[in-house]
Structure 1
Amino acid sequence: MLTVFFVPLVFINIGAIASPWLLFASYITSGIGMAGIGMGIIHDAIHGSYSKNQKVNKYLGYTMNLIGANATVWKIQHNVLHHTYTNIEGADDDINAPFFLRFSPHAKKNALHRFQHWYVWFFYGISTISWVTAKDFVRLARYRKMGYLNKKNEFRDEVMKIIGWKLLYYSYALIIPLLMVPLAPWIIILAFLSMHFVTGLLISSIFQVAHIMPDMEFPLPDKDGVVEGDWFAHQLATTTNFAPRSRFFSWLIGGLNYQIEHHLLPNICHVHYKKISNIVAETAREYGMPYNTKRTFVSAIRDHVSVLRKLGKLQTIVVRQ
C-alpha cells in the first residue's frame, strides 16, 4: 500500500507525467494506496496491534502524519471515543455529523436530511480533504476542552507537529507537482482533489457501513451518564460485519469487514480476524447475543442507504429519564 501511494507521486514530482489523463490516473492510484495505508497499516499500528513490538507500531502510526492527518487526533477520535462509546450520540465522533447529515435517530432533524442518502457520497468523498486541512485543528481544540492533551505544553507541541507534518504532506502531494508537472495548475489541483475523493469515499464507506445499518442500536446513557449493559454486549449491538467470504476484499480494506471481531478485540492484528470469527459467532449464539453480518459489501451499502433514508424521515427520538 505504501508503494501504491508513493510510487505514482514520485513520477508526478519528478515531472515525468505530462498527460492530464495519466496525471489523474496516477493521483487516483495514490488515493487507493492512501486508503490502503489508512485501513491496513495505520489502523492496526495506532491500535498497537500491527506488531508485537510497540516501537514498530509507533513509527508505522506516523504514516498517518505522512499522509496529511494526525496520529494523536485519530487515537483520541477512534481508539478512545469511537471504540468506547460506539453509536452513542454526542460521544462517538464517527456519528457526530455536521447539520446536513444525520447518522443517529437521536440527532436533531432538518429538512435537508430527507435527501442525505443521495448527497452523503459527495461528503464522504471530500472527508479526507477536510481532514488534512482544518479538521485536525478543530478536533484537537475540542479534545483539549474535553480534558485530553492536558500535560504541560502538550497541546502547543501537538499543534506545531500538525502544522509541520501538513506542510510536508502538501509539499510533496501538491506544491512540488504544481512546480514540476507541465500542465495547467487547475488540472493538477483537480487531480489532487480526485485522489482525496477516492480515499474519502473508500474510507468513509467502510467505516460508516459497519455501524449505521439496520438492526444497529443507538443507546443513550441515563441521567447519571451510565449506558445499560456491559461493553461487550454494546459492541455486538452496534456493529456489523460484511463480505466475510471475500479474501481479496478483506486484504484490500485491512480486515475491516470483520468489524465485530475488531471491536471486541482491538488489540489483535486484522490478519487473524477471519480465523477467530467463527469462535466469536458461536459464542454470541451460545449466549443469545446478536452477531450481525451482511453477505456482500454491495448488500451492506444497500442497507446503509436504506438507514440513511429512514433517518432522513424519522423524527428525533427524545429519551426522557
Structure 2
Amino acid sequence: MLSAFFVPLIIISTGIVAHPLLLFALYITSGFGMAGVGMGVMHDAIHGSYSKNRTVNKYLGYTMNLIGANSSVWRIQHNVLHHTYTNIDEGDDDINAPFFLRFSPHAKRYWIHRFQYLYIWLFYGLSTISWITMKDFVRASRYKKMGFFSKDGEFRRELLKIGGWKLLYYSYALVLPLIMVPLPAWIIIMAFLSMHFVTGICISIVFQTAHVIPDTTFSQPDEEGVIAKDWTVHQLASTSNYAPKSRFLSWLIGGLNFQVEHHLFPNICHVHYRKLSRIVSKTAEEYNVPYLVKKTFLAALSGHVKMLRQLGRA
C-alpha cells in the first residue's frame, strides 16, 4: 500500500508525465494506495496493534501524517471518542457532522437531509481534502477545550507539528509535481484533488457501512450521562461486519469488514479477526446478544443508503 501511494507520486515528480490522462491515472492510483495506508497500516499502528513493538507502532503511525492528516488528532477522534462512544450522538466524533449531514436519529433534522443519500457521496469524496486543510487544526482546538493537549505548551507544539507535517505532504504531493510536470497548473491541481476524492470515498464507505445502517443501535445516555448497556454489548449492538468470506476485500481494507472484532479487540492486529469472528459469533449466540453481519459489502452499502434515507425523513 505504501508503494501504491508513493511510486505513482515519484513517477509524477520525475517530470516524464506529459499527458493529462496518465497524470490522472497515477494520482488516482496513489489515492487507492493512500486509502490502503489509512486502513491497513496506520489504523493498526495507531491502535498499537500493528506490532508488539511500541516503537514500530509509533513510526508506522506517522504514515497518517505522510498522507496529509495527523496521527495525534486522529488518535483522539478515533481511538478515544469513536471506540468509547460508538454511535452516541455528540460523543462519537465519526458521526458528528456538519448541519447538512445527519448520521444519528438523535441529531437535529433539517429539510435538506431528505436528499442526503444523493449528495453525500460528494462530501465523502471531499472528506480527506478537509482533513489535509483545516480539519486537524479545528479538531485539535476543540479537543484542547475538552481537556486533551493539557500539558504546558503541548497544544502549541501540536499545532506546529500539524503544520510542519502538512507542509511536508504538500511539498511532495503537489508542489513538486507543479514544478516538474509540463502541464498547466490547473490540470495538476485537479488530478491531485481526484486522488483525494478517491481516498475519501473509499475510507468513508468502509467505516460508515459498519455503523450507520438500519440494524445498528444509536444509544443515548440518561440524565446523568450513563449508557444503560454494558460496554461490550453496546459495541455489538452498534457495529456490523460485512463480507466475512471475502479474503481479498479483507486484505484490501485492512480487515475492517470485521468491525465487530475490531471494536471488541482494537489492540489485536486485523490479520486475526477472521478467526476471532468464529469465537465472537458463537459467544454472542450463547449469551443471546446481537452479532450483526451482512453477507456482502454491497448489502452493507445498500443498508447504509437506506439508513441515510430514513435519517432524512424522520
Alignment TM-score > 0.5, same fold: yes
Once residues 268 and 61 of structure 1 are traced to their aligned partners in structure 2, the CA distance between those partners, rounded to angstroms, is: 15
Once residues 128 and 16 of structure 2 are traced to their aligned partners in structure 1, the CA distance between those partners, rounded to angstroms, is: 26
Aligned to 1:248: 248
Counterparts of 1:26-105 in structure 2, within 5 Å, are 26-105=26-105
Counterparts of 1:168-183 in structure 2, within 5 Å, are 168-183=168-183
Shift of 1:235: 0.1
Shift of 1:18: 0.8
Counterparts of 1:164-313 in structure 2, within 5 Å, are 164-313=164-313
Shift of 1:171: 0.6
Once residues 16 and 207 of structure 1 are traced to their aligned partners in structure 2, the CA distance between those partners, rounded to angstroms, is: 37
- The size of the alignment, in residue pairs, is 314
Q: Which amino acid aligns with 1:128?
A: T
Once residues 290 and 116 of structure 1 are traced to their aligned partners in structure 2, the CA distance between those partners, rounded to angstroms, is: 28
Tell me, which stretches of 5 or more residues in structure 1 are unaligned?
A: 315-321
Once residues 63 and 301 of structure 1 are traced to their aligned partners in structure 2, the CA distance between those partners, rounded to angstroms, is: 28
Q: Which amino acid aligns with 1:20?
A: P
Aligned to 1:21: 21
**CA displacement, residues 218-260 of structure 1 (integer Å, 9 cap, x when unaligned):** 1111111111111100000000000111101100000000000
Shift of 1:66: 1.0
Instruction: Say which SS state the counterpart of residue 43 (structure 2) adopts.
Output: helix
Once residues 31 and 180 of structure 1 are traced to their aligned partners in structure 2, the CA distance between those partners, rounded to angstroms, is: 20
Question: Aligned pair 1:11/2:11, yes or no?
Answer: yes
Instruction: Say which SS state the counterpart of residue 90 (structure 2) adopts.
Output: coil
TM-score by length of 1: 0.97
Aligned to 1:144: 144
Instruction: Say which SS state the counterpart of residue 126 (structure 1) adopts.
Output: helix
Once residues 63 and 94 of structure 1 are traced to their aligned partners in structure 2, the CA distance between those partners, rounded to angstroms, is: 20
Once residues 67 and 95 of structure 1 are traced to their aligned partners in structure 2, the CA distance between those partners, rounded to angstroms, is: 22
Once residues 209 and 151 of structure 1 are traced to their aligned partners in structure 2, the CA distance between those partners, rounded to angstroms, is: 37
Once residues 220 and 227 of structure 1 are traced to their aligned partners in structure 2, the CA distance between those partners, rounded to angstroms, is: 7
Once residues 16 and 269 of structure 2 are traced to their aligned partners in structure 1, the CA distance between those partners, rounded to angstroms, is: 38
Once residues 209 and 65 of structure 2 are traced to their aligned partners in structure 1, the CA distance between those partners, rounded to angstroms, is: 25
Once residues 141 and 76 of structure 1 are traced to their aligned partners in structure 2, the CA distance between those partners, rounded to angstroms, is: 12
Tell me, which stretches of 5 or more residues in structure 2 are unaligned?
A: none
Once residues 295 and 70 of structure 1 are traced to their aligned partners in structure 2, the CA distance between those partners, rounded to angstroms, is: 34
Q: Which amino acid aligns with 2:35?
A: A
Aligned to 1:317: none
**CA displacement, residues 255-295 of structure 1 (integer Å, 9 cap, x when unaligned):** 00000000000000000000110100000000000100001
**CA displacement, residues 31-88 of structure 1 (integer Å, 9 cap, x when unaligned):** 0000000000000000000000010000000011111100000000000000000000
Shift of 1:16: 1.6
- CA-based RMSD: 0.5
Shift of 1:214: 1.3
Instruction: Say which SS state the counterpart of residue 74 (structure 1) adopts.
Output: helix
Shift of 1:119: 0.5
Instruction: Say which SS state the counterpart of residue 241 (structure 2) adopts.
Output: strand
Once residues 166 and 140 of structure 2 are traced to their aligned partners in structure 1, the CA distance between those partners, rounded to angstroms, is: 14
Once residues 4 and 16 of structure 1 are traced to their aligned partners in structure 2, the CA distance between those partners, rounded to angstroms, is: 18
TM-score by length of 2: 1.00
Q: Which amino acid aligns with 1:261?
A: E
Once residues 185 and 82 of structure 2 are traced to their aligned partners in structure 1, the CA distance between those partners, rounded to angstroms, is: 39
Once residues 244 and 229 of structure 1 are traced to their aligned partners in structure 2, the CA distance between those partners, rounded to angstroms, is: 26
Counterparts of 1:112-123 in structure 2, within 5 Å, are 112-123=112-123
Shift of 1:215: 1.7
Structure 1 runs (4+) greater than 6 angstroms displaced: none
